[in-house]
């Protein structure tokens, strides 16, 4: 008999984080050796000289570092850049000796700043700030969307006429492909108390991770419901 393993939300987050980490490490696996060799050969050069090399004779090497930064941007996470820094730092201090850390850091920073200057940035920290800013903007946008939805529905009388304006993500809604059909299902669920007709997904962009549970647990009063026409009106908590 096959045993079904249920994953919690924290399990899924941990798995996703591990997959991202492994993909970032794989991204570096082919190019990191060449990058490290160049970093070692440029130890005696200053940041401006390294920047010039990245812009002229070492464009292919710059492309390898570009891939790391672009991955971080796409993921809206510093994970890829952190993995890259760790590998680079380890190459300058393979023994992990505490006494060697300051010197290794200076070598790593000079190399990364040189790359950043070749891209017109002040330093590596500026690039990290850009990724960090993208991440924060995404988080704020998600939080703002969630708050807007809660403020709109909390204590309000909402009807089928409210929903066409919202345009949920129908690629994640299994039983309907437009609002007219979905409103009929919502009305049927409200009337029968059987919310299995409603997809859990589809309203994530409004801050609702499980729309089925939201309807089931937040209706305080039913004002009108007609599954045939799709008309319904309820008061939310």
Asked if residue 131 belongs to a domain, the reply is yes
Within-domain flag for 143: no
Per-residue pLDDT at 24: 45
Report how many domains make up the chain.
2
Q: Along the 237 residues of the chain, how does pLDDT read in single tens digits?
A: 444 444 455 544 554 455 445 444 544 455 677 888 888 999 999 999 999 999 999 998 898 888 888 888 887 788 888 888 888 888 888 877 777 878 888 898 899 999 999 999 888 888 888 887 754 554 555 455 445 555 456 777 888 887 655 677 888 888 888 888 888 999 999 998 888 878 888 877 766 778 888 888 888 999 999 999 999 999 888
How far, in Å, CA of 228 to CA of 230, rounded?
A: 6
Partnered with residue 209 across adjacent β-strands are none
Segments forming the whole domain that contains residue 94: 9-138
Q: Flag whether the pTM goes above 0.85.
A: no
Say yes or no: 187 and 130 in one domain: no
Strand order in the sheet with 157-159: 157-159, 231-236, 219-226
Regarding whether 177 and 132 lie in a shared domain, the answer is no
pLDDT at 49: 96
Answer whether 177's CB lies under 8 Å from 170's CB: yes
Amino acid 146: pLDDT: 47
Boundary (domain end) residue, out of 138, 164, 186: 138
Return the number of other C-beta atoms located less than 10 Å from residue 100's C-beta: 13
185: enclosing H helix or E strand: helix 179-192
Final residue of a structural domain among 138, 166, 198? 138
Question: Which residue, 106, 138, 170, sits at the end of a domain?
Answer: 138
């Amino acid at each position: 008999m096959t045993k079904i393993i249920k994953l919690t939300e924290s399990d899924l987050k941990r798995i996703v984080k591990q997959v991202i980490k492994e993909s970032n490490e794989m991204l570096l696996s082919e190019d990191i050796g060449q990058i490290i060799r160049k970093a070692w050969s440029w130890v005696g050069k200053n940041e401006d000289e390294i920047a010039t090399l990245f812009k002229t004779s070492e464009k292919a090497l710059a492309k390898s570092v570009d891939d790391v930064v672009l991955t971080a941007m796409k993921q809206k996470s510093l994970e890829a850049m952190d993995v890259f820094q760790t590998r680079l730092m380890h190459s300058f201090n393979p023994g992990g000796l505490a006494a060697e850390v300051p010197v290794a850091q200076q070598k790593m920073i000079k190399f990364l700043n040189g790359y950043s200057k070749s891209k017109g940035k002040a330093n590596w920290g500026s690039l990290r700030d850009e990724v960090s800013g993208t991440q924060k903007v995404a988080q704020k946008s998600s939080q703002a969307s969630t708050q807007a939805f809660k403020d709109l529905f909390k204590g309000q009388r909402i009807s089928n006429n409210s929903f066409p304006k919202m345009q949920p993500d129908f690629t994640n809604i299994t039983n309907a492909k437009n609002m007219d059909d979905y409103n009929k299902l919502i009305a049927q669920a409200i009337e029968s108390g059987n919310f299995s007709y409603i997809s859990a997904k589809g309203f994530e962009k409004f801050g609702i991770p499980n729309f089925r549970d939201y309807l089931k647990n937040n209706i305080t009063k039913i004002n009108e419901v007609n599954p045939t026409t799709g008309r319904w009106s309820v008061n939310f908590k």
